[in-house]
Amino acid sequence: MRLPSSPRWVVTLLALGACGVFGADRQNLSEPRHTELEHEPHLEPFGECREFTPERRAFFGELHVHTRYSLDANLQGNRATPDDAYRFARGEAIRVGPLDGDGQPTRTVQIDRPLDFAAVTDHAEFMGFVGACADPDSNAYHRRGCKMFRGGGSWAFGLLNMQTAQRGRRLKRHMACGRGGVDCDEYYRDLWIDTQNAAERHLDRTPDCEFTTFVGYEYTANPFTGVLGNVANMHRNVIFRNGIVPERPIDYFHTQDLRVFWERLESHCRAGDDGCDVLVIPHNSNLSSGLMFAEAPPGSRAPYTAEDDRRRSDLERLFEIYQHKGSSECLPGASSSDELCDFEITPYNNLRSAKVDRPDELSPHDFVRDAFGQGMWRQRQSGVNPFAYGLVASTDNHLGLAGQVHEALFMGGGGAGESGGGPLPDRIYFGPGGLAGVWAEENSREAIFRALKHKETFATSGPRIPVRLFGGWDTFDGWCGGDATERARTGYDRGVPMGGTLPQRPEAIAHPTFVASAVHDPGTGAYPGSPLQHLELVKGWLDERDTLQVTTHLLAGDRERGTLNPTNCALGSEGAHALCARWEDDDFDPTRPAFYYIRAIEVPTCRWTTRVCVAQEFDCNSPSPRPIDTACCHRRMGLHEPRCFGARCEPGSTDPCCAQDVVQPDIRERAWSSPIWYVPPDWVTGETQQAT
């Protein structure tokens, strides 16, 4: 049901909640323990792991997962604790919903293989509310807001989450938490401390260094936008370097101004001398309605200043390019004819449309590649590029399933208010999400955080594909002929790794050279990986009119390689186990700024939607169609037409397989490197340098 855009619907929901339309209270909300920190936060050691690699190794992890401490996840039946999320990430089986009549999870799930690192990032907003409403002894328990919360349902989800869009705490206070939120403050403290304790309990401090955890949370900015009352996604994950963290998260209820949010992170964490450090990772610009990369904060006419850009670039070094709610890399037809932009594009541009399944017209300004261009232009104005991001991916899983990314194992992500159920486990446009990759010397907090901060990171859509990119003014002759260790040494000695900026160009060198490699994910015995199709480089630059131009260059492999049997999802034998290449930018213009990143692409495989339908033997010609037949044969699934497999959709295509609301039945899984940047020596003028 679509909620009316006027805030008057809030009053109606309050009245309905008082009448008990949400049903009986849900059971087993599991009140928090009244607890204290179980450890003394301190600076973490570096170089104490048994396996230490100076040339750095690839580690795969999850920096965006939700447990029952998140309001939306709790309302959808998530009973997983932060401990459960970490146990799952380490390879243990846990129980998840749907819940039975006693409020107990009914399914058992286990990741295909353990992760190297993870962070639980519950929504900071409403954390105390969730705790207070679970405790019968709290002052909030019998108030209207808590009764609505315990009753559950989409109405409660809509009303309570809408408060973050309304930029205030007043309704929350009167509904449950009392004046000033005082009746929820103690519970907020308890859940935040338990989040820290869980990260500490699962951090492997032995010399084996098998699993690393980080303390984190999500800043849930949901500003209204447009005349329809749409809700823009401006969310950010906040990841701390170690256990030295602020006493309380800086959440959207305490400040709706991003400038204040950044200032407080600096003053409450980085300004001290106790070792607190933090990174902020924006995500889902594809659902931000043009606000994520706007020139001014939401609701303000005053543009970001040079100091704002400096603070932003220092804190927001990474960007989540892909997750459960789609890809935010690029939009088909924007700035180039890049066909690989047509990857997991959700047909929504804001959270409300995603919730009510209302397709929108999409804009390239909501995608990070466009922001790369805008950032280079802003750098000329302010002296700082606020969008010189490194790239990661995550799941945003709201069932506590950290790193559950395999298409064959997808059982719903619980995002955007979806709890699964029916013949398909989730909205067809959503998916399992991806993983964050880093190149680090060892699997420890300090080593991985350094890699994150230096942006020596990469993103994958799920498979564990280690990609590597170096660039510089050296020729890198014979780079692909060496082994991985020798390549890395050469890359660091003669160039810069992904996430870096090319040094000043020597006069005798005409153009930069880049070297890249990727290795396929072997998978497991039960779930073997797929070979690589090709490796390509994406170059973007500002032309003489400061307009972003983009070209893609095939480095190795074949863009047409790989066959897939749509009747049983069986793969052909084509593909490569590893790809390596050296590339010179012969069209290099030393007067224009540029960025370079690589993508490693797997051969086509079946998307999760197709796997579910094939496994249940769907039949589009059945005289008595089952629910699964009806769902799988809907035109939006792309399964009723065999030719939709492998369809290559150019912008403006009239092919029904290429309609905006049709999902691709096959998927070309991939990995993205962080970019390497080039800044002309006179791009930042003396005035802008002085201003920063």
Q: Would you say how long the chain is, in residues?
A: 692
Q: Which residues pair with 468 in a beta bridge?
A: 517
Residues 211 and 360 in one domain: yes
pLDDT in tens, 119-158: 999 999 999 999 999 999 999 999 988 988 888 766 777 7
Assess whether pLDDT exceeds 90 at residue 356: no
Pairing of strands 457-460, 117-120: unpaired
Within-domain flag for 13: no
- The answer to whether 250 and 268 have CB atoms below 8 angstroms apart is yes
657 compared with 651, residue with greater pLDDT: 657
Residues 433 and 556 in one domain: no
Q: Which of 460, 477, 496 is the last residue of a domain?
A: 460
pLDDT in tens, 498-550: 999 999 999 999 999 999 999 999 999 999 999 999 999 999 999 999 999 99
Containing structural domain, residue 84: 26-460
Residues 356 and 377 in one domain: yes
* Average pLDDT over all residues of the chain: 89
Query: What mean pLDDT comes out for the span 451-467?
Result: 98
Residues 482 and 591 in one domain: yes
Within-domain flag for 4: no
Q: E-strand spans in 527-604?
A: 532-542, 548-557, 564-565, 570-571, 578-584, 594-602
pLDDT at site 163: 66
pLDDT in tens, 254-272: 899 999 999 999 999 999 8
Residues 423 and 535 in one domain: no
Q: Which of 41-55, 90-104, 447-461, 552-566 has the lowest mean pLDDT?
A: 90-104
Q: Which amino acid is at 70?
A: S
| CA distances (Å), origin 475, targets 481, 490, 599, 675 | 14, 11, 22, 19
Residues 503 and 442 in one domain: no
Residues 453 and 599 in one domain: no
Assess whether pLDDT exceeds 50 at residue 367: yes
Token digits of residue 383: 């002296």
Assess whether pLDDT exceeds 50 at residue 382: yes
Within-domain flag for 20: no
Query: What mean pLDDT comes out for the span 172-179?
Result: 72
Q: How many domains does the chain have?
A: 3
Query: What mean pLDDT comes out for the span 621-626?
Result: 94
pLDDT at site 662: 92
pLDDT band at 29, cuts 50/70/90?
A: low
Query: What mean pLDDT comes out for the span 176-180?
Result: 84
Within-domain flag for 18: no
Residues 432 and 506 in one domain: no
Determine the longest span between alpha carbons in the chain, in angstroms: 79
Assess whether pLDDT exceeds 60 at residue 4: no
Query: What mean pLDDT comes out for the span 571-580?
Result: 94
Residues 395 and 476 in one domain: no
648 compared with 346, residue with greater pLDDT: 346
Within-domain flag for 455: yes
Q: Which amino acid is at 159?
A: L
Within-domain flag for 2: no
Assess whether pLDDT exceeds 90 at residue 690: no
pLDDT at site 613: 96
pLDDT band at 10, cuts 50/70/90?
A: very low
Within-domain flag for 16: no
- The answer to whether 292 and 255 have CB atoms below 8 angstroms apart is no
pLDDT at site 32: 57
Residues 543 and 577 in one domain: yes
pLDDT at site 30: 56
SS3 assignment, position 539: strand
pLDDT at site 685: 67
- Cα–Cα distance for residue pair 549/209, rounded to 1 Å: 44
Residues 415 and 522 in one domain: no
- Cα–Cα distance for residue pair 457/437, rounded to 1 Å: 6
pLDDT band at 165, cuts 50/70/90?
A: low
Q: Is the pTM of this model over 0.85?
A: yes
SS3 assignment, position 177: helix
Segment holding 605, helix H or strand E: strand 605-606
Residues 345 and 436 in one domain: yes
Percent of the chain with pLDDT over 70: 90
Within-domain flag for 17: no
Q: Which of 409, 427, 460 is the last residue of a domain?
A: 460
Assess whether pLDDT exceeds 70 at residue 48: yes
pLDDT at site 566: 87
Query: What mean pLDDT comes out for the span 463-485?
Result: 96
pLDDT at site 22: 30
Q: What angle do CA 622, 627, 628 make, to 5 degrees?
A: 75
